[in-house]
Amino acid sequence: MPKRKRANDEGYGRKRQFLGRVANRSKVKKVELLNLGAFVHKQGWYNAGYIFPNGYTANVEYKDIIDPNIKIPYLCEIIDNGGKPWFQVTSNTVNTTFAGKSPTACWKQILDCINETLRSRNQPVVKTQVAGPEYFGLNDPKIVEQIESLDPTKSCDVYWAEKENILKARELYENVHPKSDKKCRKRRKEDEEDVRLNEDDNKENYRGAWSAIQRNERYIQRCEKMGAEVLVESDNPLPEYQDPITLQPVIAPALSPYGHVAGYYSWTQALKETNGYCPFTKLPLSIESITKLTKQNFSLYKDHILY
């Protein structure tokens, strides 16, 4: 029986590669790239986390809308719509195309349809939010490498700058928090599990003590109790955005340097529980680096948001 590699063996426990703000490894089990598409050096076709090639096409496997107990391939496409990227996902079983301005918008519609089917069968619904870009195959390591090759001169300055920042932050984090052999084995086992878009809502979205928050009024009271400024609804630039921590409409939206948006008080409590680490990226994060979003400054930060 061959011996298992130890943590000090060459090639074991190598530093994780990162794409923009997300890990360069996909939780989606089956992705088939059909067409890489063409690079478009224009605002909207890339951001700090991803590059969106025009004409990109891939098959991604996920739960069937008609029978969620089985998985089927969904056709994911990125096309040009008036000079801007347009995302669409087609299901052959229901002969329907779900489209939107972002990958997440498409998959949220699909998830809603799947939940309707589950409710009709009196089965538990899928409660997690959708990792849209990942379910377009845009986080698959091989696909990432091919997409990046479309920009050899690194003209997508925002994307490449953020990738460099994340690599540096990851290196710093791993130097401060070295992983033992036991932790490496545990991490590899966790990486083999499909933690995206499954029924266990604790696996994809950090919520902790905030999973019980149900009302905006209670949320506002807690903000006021701690002396935090509460944005009035008329000044909220994202009134329909769902706070990924509370799973309620976001109040006092605030942006982290890594591109995630949550309520300012949600960030405050989350950072207390994680001792100063981002609950999404697991990288160092301070409340001072969180930027409150208003209608006045939203145009300055909207391109940095990772949807």
DSSP string, the chain: -PPPPPTTSTTSSPPPPEETTEESS---S-EEEEE--B---STTSB-SS-B--BT-EEEEEEE-SS-TTSEEEEEEEEEEETTEEEEEEEETTTTEEEEESSHHHHHHHHHHHHHHHHHHTT-PPP-SPP-TTGGGTTT-HHHHHHHHHT-TT---HHHHHHHHHHHHHHHHHHHHSPPPHHHHHHHHHHHTS--SS-S-TTTTS--GGGGG---HHHHHHHHHHTT-----GGG-S-TTPBPTTTSSB-SSEEE-TTS-EEEHHHHHHHHHHTTSB-TTT-SB--GGG-EE--TTTHHHHGGG---
Please state, in angstroms and rounded to a whole number, the distance separating the CA atoms of residues 230 and 253. Answer: 10
- Give the number of other CB atoms < 10 A from CB of residue 23: 19
Q: What is the pLDDT of residue 233?
A: 57
Name the β-bridge partners of 18. Answer: 23
Mean model confidence pLDDT for the chain: 77
How much is the average pLDDT of 120-133? 81
Identity of residue 24: N
- Res 255 pLDDT > 90: yes
**Where is mean pLDDT largest: 130-134, 162-166, 261-265?**
261-265
Q: What is the mean pLDDT of residues 175-192?
A: 58
Q: List the beta bridge partners of residue 254.
A: 262, 292
- The CA distance from 95 to 225, in Å, is 51
Residue 212 pLDDT greater than 50, yes or no: no
Residue 242: the pLDDT is: 83
Please report the domains of the chain, with CATH numbers, ordered by start residue.
Answer: 18-165 (3.30.160.360), 205-304 (3.30.40.10)
Mean pLDDT of 227-256: 76
Q: Note the pLDDT tens digit of each residue in 67-110.
A: 999 999 999 999 999 999 999 999 989 999 999 999 989 999 99
Is the model's pLDDT at 53 over the cut of 90? yes
Give the residue-averaged pLDDT of 229-255.
77
CA distance 66 to 60: 17
- 194: its two tokens: 């499909």
> For residue range 282-299, what is the model confidence (pLDDT) as tens digits?
889 999 899 999 988 998
177 band by pLDDT with thresholds 50, 70 and 90: low
CA–CA gap between residue 98 and residue 100 (Å, rounded) = 7
The predicted pLDDT at position 21 comes to 42
Please name every residue paired with 63 in a beta bridge, in sequence order, or none if there are none.
Answer: 71
Q: Measured between alpha carbons, how far is 287 from 152 in angstroms, rounded to an integer?
A: 36
CA atoms of 201 and 208, how far apart (whole Å): 11
> How does residue 224 score in pLDDT terms, banded at 50, 70 and 90?
low
